Structure 1
């Protein structure tokens, strides 16, 4: 009996549908195979947390930051993908740090956090193929200065550790992709010769092929930030690989600081490479010291609060910051942090120092009984007041963005006021008076001021896409729950969109004073690694990177909190 072919039509449609599903999803399956688990649980997007905030208000704002990242990264790939950084005004490229595709490596973990899987796995493929060998250093004639050697033959130790090594380790920790750990191990070993000095302090730069080293502009000096900003990366790498040398090299530096003859925790900004002792008397949280303060607290947190030397160093240094570096301006009572040399404050306030309120807030939340209730209050008050000042330096300017360095007006000393605007002295006076108004000095919010009426003068007026202010906003939001920090972060992001965006990316500003701002032809990798990451995390309702489980390095690369194993504790002298 003849049966009509029409009876086969439903099966035909089903077959075509199934073929389409297999055809369009097969590349995805092939490209993203199941990953073997690392020694800790990777932070996976799907099934663990949604990719962005879900509220009507903050979800779209997180998405806006995500689109900004895609715009910047797409421009980098198009015009500078084989180089370190994009020049977003001329649509060209720059090799500032070794020529190893810095922006790509620095942005890996941001891609993962933002659920940009396609971009992430394409970048992993490129990272896997990076050649970390630099050109060999050929001996120069005796009369030639080492300054004439091509800078491309040496990798700057500090920047390479925090950006490249930190970026690879964080991307591995988040994704579990084994090749990233392999590349991190390769690079970590190649950088180790930098610490083969008389004291164990790192040289400024190292040739990753020969192990040759060279000094930087400081000549015989290591900056405090350079010496103490490698412990997070190398301790985590030691834990992952079991390589004892990684731990011993960086812990040796911690031991030097722990045993150093330093007055009241005022660790100087410069140290002798040969003698391992201070070579100046400046105490600061600015460019020469900033990340060292971070790493004292953060390596204690990273290793599950198991390293008392790091904790003791942080408490000593942070106590000295509170007692010696915090001052008030005379008009708006803005709280700022400066540096002192031989006890004399400069009253300079750096944008780089705007990381401090976030650090103090993190310490106030995590240190527990290590801080007395009184000291914890001081840290929390200082965090809030400093973050407000950082915000005001943005809000005061027509562009809505903050200058890089300011000279702050200060309260003069007198018979009635022997310590001038020293914040701690003013707080004690307020407490003795019965805490009038209920708000400590430096925390009362005031109006914005135009140029000429502000209680500071701009010394360096550029905005270089730096992350420190929004980093502190993020940490204050997560530690206090006060949404004012999110709103201020949104204002900063809108200003970046308005003033810094170009056809291919985002550019630094030459000056924040007038809008539209003149642009500088650079897009530092930390804009994608830090600034946009912190803004995205600030606008997500979910805590995507829980602060009790992850620790950010100074380049905003999150590393997971871990516990030393019994054999590690024995091998490293931790018991």
Structure 2
């Protein structure tokens, strides 16, 4: 189904939009830069009249195994793309979508290792990549800090009126593409300017190692001091760690580990499930919303090996998706409501789902992928492509299919389900960029190989990790339907649902159970109910049973269907009971915690 959905978008783009940058799925036509309104940065930051959708999607064609279509698309790019355009574009978007797409496709087209080498290919994509990078370089040349201007005109350089304010992610997420370009062309300049920008931002971190969101490129002063893992800052952390994975240079790991420690101490809330917007100098809360871009964070945590934190954070976004059948751009976790309802078919949530499945092999994540796939197909599919959701609460659609649907969202969904895909089996150093582009780097391009000790910390970007730090938790390969180590049966799942106010309106009885569980859980997902709980179970005509909990002089009652005789992990559950009264006592943590039946 994923491949069919991809080609529904791809074929309609070629039919109705090519050679424009994007497809308008409602009007069934193409979209390029907005020349009538140059200040329309929502369009002009991204669209530069350079076949955006084609370039951004080249390596997805390889992931899908479509060698002939990949070769045809490469030839289209070589024939029709020119960067000599009088368009002002964002450096960050041009880098991750266009430069990254060209570099990935060049490596695939020229290196027979991956099975997509094109006969007679002479490096034209690399020349295009270098031409684009040369047009972006003026953004770095006239700043006192080395932090680049956010935008350049592809033909004329930096406009005189260009703002001197840029976001952390925009200026600090260039090292992968610029670094690979330097290695492939043997010209260190591109890598040097990108690295200088990244370190210039890091050197202006606060005393508690947090970064702000917006900085002045000339003075180095922070304009917006909110620190988070979301919009405006997200991919900075991603590129710190992935630069270490790709290039093997320990300084990137050192910066990342300091940043990660600060985030876990000051940005993550006490429950361990939410990553907030806090002041970079004090850690004080600045906003009560989280944004959909920050759903990438769990995937990065998987790469780093912090699986437990990744699972908990992912569950929050999973429950938001379940509630709205998409991810709103912002969700207010205090009011438990949508703050901004827009969903432009973003990939970050499914990206983290993919990484978590590769690490745990828990089929729960396949279920999550199926949920996303069905919602995308049912809510956003139109005869001419897929449309953005203007408001997840009403389902209103907007006439835009951004290139990252084909470049990332459907790519990660395909890789999630196609477990035998060649890109899931590569064990050399490579990464998927923040735009989902496949970037490997052969050993001959590495400057400093990591030590044996450091090398143990490097996980490849498909993260084939079956036994990561599992001294306390068991990750299952083929779980039984009722195996309580699977994600849906862990207390964390119910706690995350309660955080976002995710009530199952189609199952009111389940709501009662969820509320009861929530009242018995602390933010870490462990039971904190009183020492003794009285539980009465009475079966009614062998069809239903009533479960009564007495805690703190409160009574909670649940009515559920009587279960059938089923096999559980390590035992059986029988329904042939006329009545049962239990006394359940909490065990102290020193003996392993949990509960035991002390009388019944």
Change in CA separation of 1:456 and 1:215 when aligned onto 2, cut-off 3 Å? farther
Q: Deviations over 1:348-383 (max 9, x none)?
A: 11111000000011111xxxxxxxxxxxxxx32210
The Cα of 1:549 is off from its aligned counterpart by 3.0
What is the SS of the residue equivalent to 1:396?
helix
Change in CA separation of 1:156 and 1:565 when aligned onto 2, cut-off 3 Å? closer
What is the SS of the residue equivalent to 2:422?
coil
CA distance in 2, matches of 1:187, 1:116: 27
In structure 2, the residue matched to 1:166 is 100
Question: CA contact under 8 A between 1:357 and 1:382: conserved in structure 2?
Answer: yes
Change in CA separation of 1:252 and 1:353 when aligned onto 2, cut-off 3 Å? same
Q: Which deviates more, 258-267 or 527-536?
A: 258-267
Higher relative contact order (CA 8 A, sep 6+): 1
In structure 2, the residue matched to 1:278 is 222
Instruction: Tell me the number of residue pairs that the alignment of Structure 1 and Structure 2 aligns.
Output: 418
Q: Which deviates more, 160-169 or 249-258?
A: 249-258
Among candidates 486, 491, 502, match of residue 371 of structure 2: 491
In structure 2, the residue matched to 1:324 is 266
Question: CA contact under 8 A between 1:193 and 1:213: conserved in structure 2?
Answer: no
Among candidates 338, 343, 349, match of residue 458 of structure 1: 338
What is the SS of the residue equivalent to 1:336?
coil
Matched, 1:383 2:320: no
Change in CA separation of 1:461 and 1:261 when aligned onto 2, cut-off 3 Å? closer
TM-score with structure 1 setting the length: 0.69
The Cα of 1:464 is off from its aligned counterpart by 1.4
The Cα of 1:265 is off from its aligned counterpart by 1.8
The Cα of 1:564 is off from its aligned counterpart by 6.2
Among candidates 192, 205, 226, match of residue 137 of structure 2: 192
The Cα of 1:569 is off from its aligned counterpart by 6.1
The Cα of 1:547 is off from its aligned counterpart by 6.4
Question: CA contact under 8 A between 1:258 and 1:309: conserved in structure 2?
Answer: no
Q: Deviations over 1:115-162 (max 9, x none)?
A: 223322221112113110022xxxxxxxxxxxxxxxxx3121110000
What is the SS of the residue equivalent to 1:100?
coil
Change in CA separation of 1:258 and 1:496 when aligned onto 2, cut-off 3 Å? closer
Structure with bigger helix share is: 1
What is the SS of the residue equivalent to 1:463?
coil
Among candidates 524, 527, 534, match of residue 402 of structure 2: 524
Change in CA separation of 1:547 and 1:523 when aligned onto 2, cut-off 3 Å? farther
Moved over 6 A (4+): none
What is the SS of the residue equivalent to 1:510?
strand
Q: Which deviates more, 112-121 or 379-388?
A: 112-121
Among candidates 310, 315, 319, match of residue 392 of structure 1: 319
The Cα of 1:209 is off from its aligned counterpart by 2.5
Question: CA contact under 8 A between 2:168 and 2:201: conserved in structure 1?
Answer: no
In structure 1, the residue matched to 2:415 is 537
Question: CA contact under 8 A between 1:254 and 1:310: conserved in structure 2?
Answer: no
Change in CA separation of 1:458 and 1:270 when aligned onto 2, cut-off 3 Å? same
The Cα of 1:317 is off from its aligned counterpart by 1.3
The Cα of 1:518 is off from its aligned counterpart by 2.0
In structure 2, the residue matched to 1:211 is 157
CA distance in 2, matches of 1:122, 1:162: 22
Change in CA separation of 1:207 and 1:564 when aligned onto 2, cut-off 3 Å? farther
The Cα of 1:205 is off from its aligned counterpart by 1.3
Structure with bigger strand share is: 2
The Cα of 1:296 is off from its aligned counterpart by 0.6
Change in CA separation of 1:215 and 1:165 when aligned onto 2, cut-off 3 Å? farther
Question: CA contact under 8 A between 2:267 and 2:283: conserved in structure 1?
Answer: no
- Structure 2: gaps of 5 or more residues: 33-42, 111-120, 450-600
Question: CA contact under 8 A between 1:204 and 1:213: conserved in structure 2?
Answer: no
CA distance in 2, matches of 1:505, 1:166: 24
CA distance in 1, matches of 2:349, 2:186: 37
What is the SS of the residue equivalent to 2:72?
helix
In structure 2, the residue matched to 1:347 is 288
Matched, 1:356 2:297: yes
Question: CA contact under 8 A between 2:59 and 2:437: conserved in structure 1?
Answer: yes
In structure 2, the residue matched to 1:61 is none
In structure 1, the residue matched to 2:233 is 289
The Cα of 1:326 is off from its aligned counterpart by 2.0
Change in CA separation of 1:532 and 1:261 when aligned onto 2, cut-off 3 Å? closer
Among candidates 367, 380, 384, match of residue 504 of structure 1: 384
What is the SS of the residue equivalent to 1:264?
coil
Question: CA contact under 8 A between 1:203 and 1:214: conserved in structure 2?
Answer: no
CA distance in 1, matches of 2:199, 2:269: 32
In structure 1, the residue matched to 2:505 is none
In structure 2, the residue matched to 1:119 is 69
Matched, 1:67 2:8: no
Among candidates 149, 167, 174, match of residue 230 of structure 1: 174
The Cα of 1:87 is off from its aligned counterpart by 0.8
Question: CA contact under 8 A between 1:334 and 1:389: conserved in structure 2?
Answer: no
Change in CA separation of 1:334 and 1:259 when aligned onto 2, cut-off 3 Å? closer
In structure 2, the residue matched to 1:133 is 84
What is the SS of the residue equivalent to 1:187?
helix
What is the SS of the residue equivalent to 1:487?
helix
Root-mean-square deviation over aligned CA pairs: 2.0
TM-score with structure 2 setting the length: 0.67
The Cα of 1:85 is off from its aligned counterpart by 0.6
